[in-house]
Protein backbone atom coordinates (compact mmCIF):
# COMPACT_ATOMS: atom_id res chain seq x y z
CA UNK A 1 0.00 0.00 0.00
CA UNK A 2 2.79 2.41 0.85
CA UNK A 3 4.54 1.61 -2.40
CA UNK A 4 1.30 2.48 -4.19
CA UNK A 5 1.10 5.75 -2.23
CA UNK A 6 4.59 6.75 -3.38
CA UNK A 7 3.77 5.83 -6.99
CA UNK A 8 0.68 8.04 -6.81
CA UNK A 9 2.79 10.89 -5.41
CA UNK A 10 5.65 10.73 -7.89
CA UNK A 11 3.35 9.87 -10.80
CA UNK A 12 1.84 13.35 -10.74
CA UNK A 13 5.12 15.10 -11.48
CA UNK A 14 3.69 18.60 -11.63
CA UNK A 15 2.16 18.39 -8.15
CA UNK A 16 5.20 16.55 -6.81
CA UNK A 17 7.53 19.28 -8.13
CA UNK A 18 5.37 22.05 -6.66
CA UNK A 19 5.26 20.31 -3.27
CA UNK A 20 9.00 19.73 -3.30
CA UNK A 21 9.71 23.29 -4.44
CA UNK A 22 7.51 24.87 -1.77
CA UNK A 23 9.13 22.92 1.06
CA UNK A 24 12.60 23.45 -0.42
CA UNK A 25 12.23 27.24 -0.49
CA UNK A 26 10.65 27.27 2.97
CA UNK A 27 13.55 25.27 4.44
CA UNK A 28 16.15 27.33 2.56
CA UNK A 29 14.65 30.68 3.51
CA UNK A 30 14.17 29.86 7.18
CA UNK A 31 17.62 28.26 7.54
CA UNK A 32 19.52 30.94 5.63
CA UNK A 33 17.89 33.90 7.34
CA UNK A 34 18.17 32.36 10.81
CA UNK A 35 21.84 31.50 10.22
CA UNK A 36 22.62 35.04 9.05
CA UNK A 37 20.72 36.42 12.05
CA UNK A 38 22.69 34.20 14.45
CA UNK A 39 25.90 35.22 12.67
CA UNK A 40 25.11 38.90 13.20
CA UNK A 41 24.42 38.27 16.88
CA UNK A 42 27.76 36.45 17.15
CA UNK A 43 29.47 39.51 15.64
CA UNK A 44 27.96 41.71 18.37
CA UNK A 45 29.78 39.67 21.02
CA UNK A 46 33.12 39.31 19.23
CA UNK A 47 34.95 41.13 22.07
CA UNK A 48 33.94 38.34 24.43
CA UNK A 49 34.87 35.47 22.12
CA UNK A 50 38.19 37.04 21.05
CA UNK A 51 39.42 38.27 24.45
CA UNK A 52 37.95 35.56 26.71
CA UNK A 53 37.87 36.66 30.36
CA UNK A 54 35.75 35.18 33.14
CA UNK A 55 34.83 38.55 34.67
CA UNK A 56 34.59 41.92 32.90
CA UNK A 57 34.67 45.07 35.03
CA UNK A 58 33.46 48.21 33.24
CA UNK A 59 32.03 51.65 33.90
CA UNK A 60 28.78 51.53 35.86
CA UNK A 61 26.57 52.82 33.02
CA UNK A 62 27.76 50.32 30.39
CA UNK A 63 24.92 48.15 29.06
CA UNK A 64 26.65 45.98 26.45
CA UNK A 65 30.17 44.99 25.46
CA UNK A 66 30.46 47.27 22.41
CA UNK A 67 29.97 50.52 24.35
CA UNK A 68 32.90 50.45 26.77
CA UNK A 69 33.43 53.78 28.53
CA UNK A 70 36.84 54.96 29.81
CA UNK A 71 37.96 54.28 33.38
CA UNK A 72 40.76 55.62 35.58
CA UNK A 73 44.01 53.64 35.66
CA UNK A 74 43.67 53.35 39.45
CA UNK A 75 40.50 51.27 38.96
CA UNK A 76 42.69 48.24 38.25
CA UNK A 77 44.16 48.37 41.76
CA UNK A 78 40.71 48.93 43.25
CA UNK A 79 39.40 45.77 41.56
CA UNK A 80 42.43 43.80 42.72
CA UNK A 81 41.67 44.76 46.32
CA UNK A 82 38.17 43.21 46.26
CA UNK A 83 37.90 39.87 48.12
CA UNK A 84 37.23 37.08 45.64
CA UNK A 85 39.49 38.49 42.90
CA UNK A 86 42.58 36.38 42.18
CA UNK A 87 44.06 38.92 39.79
CA UNK A 88 42.98 41.75 37.52
CA UNK A 89 44.62 43.28 34.45
CA UNK A 90 43.89 46.37 32.32
CA UNK A 91 42.43 46.29 28.81
CA UNK A 92 42.33 48.97 26.14
CA UNK A 93 39.78 48.70 23.32
CA UNK A 94 39.22 51.54 20.89
CA UNK A 95 38.71 52.40 17.23
CA UNK A 96 41.80 54.06 15.74
CA UNK A 97 42.85 55.09 12.24
CA UNK A 98 45.61 53.13 10.49
CA UNK A 99 47.55 54.90 7.75
CA UNK A 100 48.70 52.60 4.96
CA UNK A 101 51.83 52.97 2.87
CA UNK A 102 49.85 54.53 -0.01
CA UNK A 103 48.43 57.23 2.28
CA UNK A 104 44.95 55.76 2.71
CA UNK A 105 43.36 55.55 6.15
CA UNK A 106 41.49 52.52 7.45
CA UNK A 107 39.68 52.14 10.80
CA UNK A 108 40.95 49.39 13.09
CA UNK A 109 39.86 48.01 16.45
CA UNK A 110 42.93 48.29 18.65
CA UNK A 111 43.10 45.93 21.64
CA UNK A 112 45.75 46.63 24.29
CA UNK A 113 46.67 43.61 26.46
CA UNK A 114 48.50 43.46 29.76
CA UNK A 115 52.14 43.09 28.71
CA UNK A 116 53.10 40.77 31.57
CA UNK A 117 50.34 38.16 31.30
CA UNK A 118 48.95 38.85 27.79
CA UNK A 119 45.48 37.98 29.13
CA UNK A 120 43.01 38.33 26.24
CA UNK A 121 45.58 37.28 23.64
CA UNK A 122 44.41 35.74 20.33
CA UNK A 123 43.58 32.06 20.63
CA UNK A 124 44.99 31.05 17.23
CA UNK A 125 48.17 32.43 15.67
CA UNK A 126 48.36 31.77 11.93
CA UNK A 127 51.92 33.02 11.44
CA UNK A 128 54.60 34.76 13.50
CA UNK A 129 55.18 34.57 17.26
CA UNK A 130 52.82 35.78 19.96
CA UNK A 131 55.68 36.71 22.31
CA UNK A 132 57.02 39.27 19.82
CA UNK A 133 54.07 41.52 20.67
CA UNK A 134 56.17 42.77 23.61
CA UNK A 135 58.72 44.28 21.21
CA UNK A 136 58.52 48.05 20.63
CA UNK A 137 55.86 49.21 18.14
CA UNK A 138 54.71 45.62 17.56
CA UNK A 139 51.17 44.53 16.68
CA UNK A 140 49.31 41.35 15.80
CA UNK A 141 46.68 41.70 13.09
CA UNK A 142 43.78 39.34 12.39
CA UNK A 143 42.86 37.61 9.15
CA UNK A 144 40.36 40.33 8.22
CA UNK A 145 43.16 42.91 8.32
CA UNK A 146 44.83 41.00 5.49
CA UNK A 147 42.04 42.32 3.27
CA UNK A 148 41.38 45.71 4.88
CA UNK A 149 44.99 46.87 5.30
CA UNK A 150 46.33 46.01 1.88
CA UNK A 151 46.90 48.66 -0.76
CA UNK A 152 44.89 48.54 -4.02
CA UNK A 153 46.33 45.97 -6.41
CA UNK A 154 48.98 45.17 -3.83
CA UNK A 155 49.69 42.01 -1.84
CA UNK A 156 48.12 41.54 1.61
CA UNK A 157 50.28 42.56 4.59
CA UNK A 158 52.61 39.98 6.07
CA UNK A 159 54.81 39.53 9.11
CA UNK A 160 57.51 42.22 9.06
CA UNK A 161 55.45 44.82 7.18
CA UNK A 162 54.70 48.18 8.77
CA UNK A 163 51.95 50.78 8.77
CA UNK A 164 51.16 53.79 10.95
CA UNK A 165 48.73 54.28 13.82
CA UNK A 166 48.40 57.90 14.98
CA UNK A 167 51.69 58.81 13.27
CA UNK A 168 53.55 56.00 15.03
CA UNK A 169 55.03 53.03 13.24
CA UNK A 170 53.33 49.68 13.86
CA UNK A 171 55.23 46.58 12.85
CA UNK A 172 53.34 43.35 12.22
CA UNK A 173 54.89 40.49 14.22
CA UNK A 174 52.10 37.92 13.87
CA UNK A 175 48.80 37.22 12.16
CA UNK A 176 45.92 35.65 14.11
CA UNK A 177 42.44 34.27 13.58
CA UNK A 178 39.64 36.18 15.27
CA UNK A 179 35.87 36.49 15.18
CA UNK A 180 34.70 39.49 13.18
CA UNK A 181 33.44 42.61 14.94
CA UNK A 182 29.88 43.84 14.40
CA UNK A 183 31.01 47.01 12.61
CA UNK A 184 33.47 45.15 10.41
CA UNK A 185 36.70 46.64 11.78
CA UNK A 186 39.77 44.37 11.82
CA UNK A 187 41.30 43.53 15.19
CA UNK A 188 44.83 44.76 15.90
CA UNK A 189 46.34 43.45 19.16
CA UNK A 190 49.23 45.09 21.00
CA UNK A 191 50.33 45.59 24.59
CA UNK A 192 48.41 47.94 26.86
CA UNK A 193 51.30 50.39 27.21
CA UNK A 194 51.85 50.44 23.46
CA UNK A 195 48.12 50.95 22.83
CA UNK A 196 48.21 54.05 25.00
CA UNK A 197 50.98 55.38 22.75
CA UNK A 198 48.99 54.62 19.60
CA UNK A 199 45.75 56.14 20.87
CA UNK A 200 45.12 59.90 21.15
CA UNK A 201 45.87 60.96 24.71
CA UNK A 202 42.88 61.42 27.00
CA UNK A 203 42.44 61.86 30.73
CA UNK A 204 40.97 58.35 31.01
CA UNK A 205 42.42 55.63 28.79
CA UNK A 206 41.46 52.36 30.47
CA UNK A 207 38.55 50.60 28.73
CA UNK A 208 37.90 47.64 31.03
CA UNK A 209 39.43 45.46 33.71
CA UNK A 210 39.64 41.70 33.19
CA UNK A 211 39.45 39.73 36.41
CA UNK A 212 39.86 36.12 37.49
CA UNK A 213 37.82 34.62 40.36
CA UNK A 214 39.82 33.56 43.40
CA UNK A 215 39.99 29.90 44.38
CA UNK A 216 36.60 28.81 45.68
CA UNK A 217 34.72 31.66 43.98
CA UNK A 218 32.58 31.35 40.87
CA UNK A 219 32.56 34.09 38.23
CA UNK A 220 29.13 35.20 39.44
CA UNK A 221 30.27 35.37 43.08
CA UNK A 222 33.32 37.43 42.13
CA UNK A 223 31.19 39.77 40.03
CA UNK A 224 28.73 40.18 42.90
CA UNK A 225 31.59 41.00 45.27
CA UNK A 226 32.89 43.70 42.94
CA UNK A 227 29.40 45.13 42.47
CA UNK A 228 28.87 45.21 46.23
CA UNK A 229 32.20 46.94 46.86
CA UNK A 230 32.80 50.68 46.93
CA UNK A 231 34.60 50.74 43.57
CA UNK A 232 31.55 52.22 41.80
CA UNK A 233 32.19 49.86 38.86
CA UNK A 234 30.04 47.18 37.31
CA UNK A 235 31.23 43.59 36.97
CA UNK A 236 29.81 41.04 34.57
CA UNK A 237 30.47 37.30 34.32
CA UNK A 238 31.29 36.51 30.72
CA UNK A 239 28.09 34.52 30.09
CA UNK A 240 25.89 37.22 31.59
CA UNK A 241 27.65 39.92 29.57
CA UNK A 242 27.07 37.82 26.42
CA UNK A 243 23.32 37.43 26.92
CA UNK A 244 22.79 41.00 28.10
CA UNK A 245 24.53 42.22 24.94
CA UNK A 246 22.24 40.04 22.82
CA UNK A 247 19.18 41.37 24.65
CA UNK A 248 20.39 44.94 24.15
CA UNK A 249 20.48 44.45 20.37
CA UNK A 250 17.05 42.83 20.45
CA UNK A 251 15.66 45.77 22.36
CA UNK A 252 17.40 48.67 20.64
CA UNK A 253 17.81 47.64 16.97
CA UNK A 254 15.49 46.53 14.19
CA UNK A 255 17.54 43.44 13.38
CA UNK A 256 15.23 40.90 15.08
CA UNK A 257 12.07 42.35 13.48
CA UNK A 258 13.66 42.45 10.02
CA UNK A 259 14.90 38.87 10.07
CA UNK A 260 11.88 37.61 11.99
CA UNK A 261 9.56 38.94 9.28
CA UNK A 262 11.52 37.15 6.56
CA UNK A 263 11.58 33.90 8.53
CA UNK A 264 7.84 34.14 9.15
CA UNK A 265 7.23 34.72 5.43
CA UNK A 266 9.21 31.57 4.66
CA UNK A 267 7.00 29.61 7.03
CA UNK A 268 3.83 31.10 5.55
CA UNK A 269 4.98 30.39 1.99
CA UNK A 270 5.73 26.79 2.93
CA UNK A 271 2.32 26.31 4.56
CA UNK A 272 0.41 28.00 1.75
CA UNK A 273 2.10 26.32 -1.20
CA UNK A 274 2.50 22.88 0.33
CA UNK A 275 -0.92 22.76 1.96
CA UNK A 276 -2.78 23.95 -1.12
CA UNK A 277 -0.81 21.74 -3.50
CA UNK A 278 -1.18 18.60 -1.39
CA UNK A 279 -4.88 19.22 -0.86
CA UNK A 280 -5.30 19.65 -4.63
CA UNK A 281 -3.35 16.43 -5.15
CA UNK A 282 -5.72 14.57 -2.82
CA UNK A 283 -8.80 15.99 -4.58
CA UNK A 284 -7.50 14.73 -7.92
CA UNK A 285 -6.97 11.27 -6.45
CA UNK A 286 -10.30 10.93 -4.66
CA UNK A 287 -11.46 8.24 -7.09
CA UNK A 288 -8.34 6.18 -6.46
CA UNK A 289 -8.67 6.60 -2.73
CA UNK A 290 -12.38 5.79 -2.95
CA UNK A 291 -11.57 2.60 -4.83
CA UNK A 292 -9.13 1.56 -2.13
CA UNK A 293 -11.76 2.31 0.50
CA UNK A 294 -14.34 0.26 -1.41
CA UNK A 295 -11.87 -2.65 -1.46
CA UNK A 296 -11.64 -2.59 2.31
CA UNK A 297 -8.90 -0.10 3.13
CA UNK A 298 -9.63 1.51 6.50
CA UNK A 299 -9.51 5.24 7.19
CA UNK A 300 -6.40 4.63 9.28
CA UNK A 301 -4.65 2.91 6.39
CA UNK A 302 -5.54 5.72 3.97
CA UNK A 303 -4.42 8.34 6.51
CA UNK A 304 -1.12 6.51 6.92
CA UNK A 305 -0.67 6.49 3.13
CA UNK A 306 -1.19 10.27 3.05
CA UNK A 307 1.30 10.72 5.87
CA UNK A 308 3.88 8.64 4.01
CA UNK A 309 3.37 10.80 0.93
CA UNK A 310 3.64 14.16 2.66
CA UNK A 311 6.53 13.15 4.95
CA UNK A 312 8.47 11.76 2.00
CA UNK A 313 8.23 14.98 0.03
CA UNK A 314 8.79 16.98 3.23
CA UNK A 315 12.05 15.25 4.12
CA UNK A 316 13.25 15.54 0.52
CA UNK A 317 12.46 19.26 0.46
CA UNK A 318 14.08 19.75 3.85
CA UNK A 319 17.24 17.93 2.79
CA UNK A 320 17.57 19.92 -0.42
CA UNK A 321 16.88 23.22 1.37
CA UNK A 322 19.36 22.49 4.15
CA UNK A 323 21.98 21.44 1.60
CA UNK A 324 21.50 24.69 -0.35
CA UNK A 325 21.72 26.73 2.88
CA UNK A 326 24.90 24.92 3.92
CA UNK A 327 26.41 25.58 0.49
CA UNK A 328 25.56 29.26 0.85
CA UNK A 329 27.19 29.21 4.29
CA UNK A 330 30.37 27.62 2.93
CA UNK A 331 30.66 30.34 0.28
CA UNK A 332 29.95 33.03 2.89
CA UNK A 333 32.63 31.58 5.18
CA UNK A 334 35.23 31.82 2.40
CA UNK A 335 34.28 35.42 1.62
CA UNK A 336 33.83 36.39 5.27
CA UNK A 337 30.51 38.06 4.52
CA UNK A 338 27.59 37.85 5.20
CA UNK A 339 27.82 36.35 8.68
CA UNK A 340 26.60 32.76 8.82
CA UNK A 341 26.23 30.58 11.91
CA UNK A 342 24.45 27.23 11.62
CA UNK A 343 24.16 25.58 15.06
CA UNK A 344 22.66 22.12 15.42
CA UNK A 345 19.66 23.59 17.25
CA UNK A 346 18.73 25.51 14.09
CA UNK A 347 19.02 22.37 11.96
CA UNK A 348 16.62 20.51 14.25
CA UNK A 349 14.34 23.53 14.61
CA UNK A 350 13.85 23.91 10.86
CA UNK A 351 13.24 20.16 10.59
CA UNK A 352 10.52 20.45 13.22
CA UNK A 353 8.88 23.35 11.36
CA UNK A 354 8.97 21.49 8.03
CA UNK A 355 7.42 18.42 9.67
CA UNK A 356 4.79 20.69 11.22
CA UNK A 357 3.97 22.08 7.76
CA UNK A 358 3.71 18.53 6.42
CA UNK A 359 1.46 17.36 9.24
CA UNK A 360 -0.80 20.39 8.83
CA UNK A 361 -1.11 19.65 5.10
CA UNK A 362 -1.78 16.00 5.78
CA UNK A 363 -4.45 16.85 8.39
CA UNK A 364 -6.50 18.77 5.82
CA UNK A 365 -6.26 15.86 3.40
CA UNK A 366 -7.07 13.25 6.06
CA UNK A 367 -10.26 15.10 7.01
CA UNK A 368 -11.33 15.03 3.36
CA UNK A 369 -10.54 11.33 2.97
CA UNK A 370 -12.33 10.46 6.21
CA UNK A 371 -15.53 11.93 4.80
CA UNK A 372 -15.00 10.16 1.48
CA UNK A 373 -17.74 7.75 0.36
CA UNK A 374 -16.54 4.62 -1.50
CA UNK A 375 -19.48 5.06 -3.94
CA UNK A 376 -17.61 7.99 -5.53
CA UNK A 377 -15.89 5.54 -7.89
CA UNK A 378 -19.26 4.79 -9.53
CA UNK A 379 -20.23 8.44 -10.14
CA UNK A 380 -19.76 10.03 -13.53
Query: In angstroms, rounded to a whole number, what is the distance separating the alpha carbons of residues 53 and 73?
Result: 19
Residue 378 has pLDDT above 60, yes or no: no
| C-alpha to C-alpha distance for 44 and 189, rounded to whole angstroms | 18
- pLDDT band, very low/low/confident/very high, at 374 (cuts 50, 70, 90): low
Query: What confidence score (pLDDT) does residue 212 get?
Result: 95
Lowest mean pLDDT among 73-77, 233-237, 337-341, 366-370: 366-370
Q: Is residue 52 part of a domain?
A: no
Domain final residue pick, 199, 232, 265: 232
Instruction: Tell me the C-alpha distance between 59 and 236, whole Å.
Output: 11
With respect to residue 62, please indicate whether it lies within any of the assigned structural domains. Answer: no
Q: What is the mean pLDDT of the chain?
A: 85
- Residue 86, H or E segment: strand 85-99
**Which one of 232, 263, 287 terminates a domain?**
232
Q: How far apart are CA 180 and CA 143, in angstroms?
A: 9
pLDDT of 288: 65
Q: Give the pLDDT of residue 256.
A: 83
Same domain as 258, residue 228 = no
pLDDT of 285 strictly over 70:
no
pLDDT of residue 372: 61
Our count of domains for the chain comes to 2
pLDDT score at 111 = 96
Residue 351 in any domain: the answer is: yes
283 and 199, same structural domain? no
User: Tens digit of pLDDT for each residue in 255-269?
Assistant: 888 888 877 877 777
pLDDT at 148: 87
- pLDDT (mean) for 109-115: 94
Same domain, 118 and 206: yes
Determine, yes or no, domain membership for 66.
no
Which percentage of the chain shows pLDDT scores above 70?
A: 87
303 pLDDT more than 90: no
Q: How far apart are CA 215 and CA 154, in angstroms?
A: 51
Which residues span the domain enclosing 226? 72-232
pLDDT value of residue 1: 58
Where is the domain boundary, 182, 200, 232? 232
- Find the mean pLDDT for residues 214-228: 94
Is there a single domain that holds both residue 258 and residue 228?
no
Please check whether residues 108 and 28 belong to one and the same domain: no
228, 330: one domain = no
Residue at 277 is within a domain? yes
Q: What's residue 114's pLDDT?
A: 94
**Whether 357 contacts 275, CB under 8 Å:** yes
Can you spell out the DSSP letters for 183-201?
T-PPEEEEEHHHHHHHSPP
Any domain includes 138: yes
**90 and 165, same domain (yes or no):** yes
User: CA-to-CA distance for 27 and 267, rounded, in angstroms?
Assistant: 8
Domain match, 116 and 264 both: no
- Classify residue 109: in a domain, yes or no: yes
Q: What is the pLDDT of residue 284?
A: 67
Q: Provide the 3-class DSSP secondary structure of residue 121.
A: coil
Could you tell me the pLDDT band of residue 287, with boundaries at 50, 70 and 90?
Answer: low
Q: What is the mean pLDDT of residues 50-64?
A: 93
How far apart CA 284 and CA 275 sit, in angstroms, is: 14
Q: For residue 299, what pLDDT is reported?
A: 66
Rounded Cα–Cα distance for residues 41 and 332 (Å): 16
Beta-carbon contacts of residue 39 (< 8 Å; ≥ 6 apart): 338, 339, 340, 341
β-pairing, 168-177 with 85-99? unpaired
374 shares a domain with 323: yes
Question: Is the same domain home to 87 and 15?
Answer: no
Q: Provide the pLDDT confidence category of residue 375 given band limits of 50, 70 and 90.
A: low
Residues 140 and 266 in one domain: no
pLDDT above 90: residue 223: yes
Residues 131 and 179 in one domain: yes
Helix (H) or strand (E) holding 305: helix 299-335
Nearest 5 degrees, angle CA 269-CA 271-CA 273?
A: 65
Q: Do 91 and 209 touch, CB atoms closer than 8 A?
A: yes
The answer to whether residues 139 and 189 touch, using CB atoms and an 8 Å cutoff, is: yes
Assess if residue 281 is contained within a domain.
yes
Instruction: Tell me the pLDDT tens digit for each residue of 129-185.
Output: 999 999 999 999 999 888 888 888 778 889 989 999 988 999 999 999 999 888 889
Amino acid sequence: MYHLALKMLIGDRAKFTMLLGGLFFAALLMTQQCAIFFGLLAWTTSHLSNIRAKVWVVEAKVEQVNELKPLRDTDVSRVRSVPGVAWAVPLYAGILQARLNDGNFKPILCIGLDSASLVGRPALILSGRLEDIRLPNSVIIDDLALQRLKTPNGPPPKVGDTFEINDREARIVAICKSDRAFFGYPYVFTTYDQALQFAPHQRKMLSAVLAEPALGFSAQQTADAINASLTGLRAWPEDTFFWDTIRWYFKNTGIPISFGTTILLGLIVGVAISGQTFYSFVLENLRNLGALKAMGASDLKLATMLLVQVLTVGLLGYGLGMGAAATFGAVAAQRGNPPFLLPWQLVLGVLALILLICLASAALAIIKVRRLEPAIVFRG
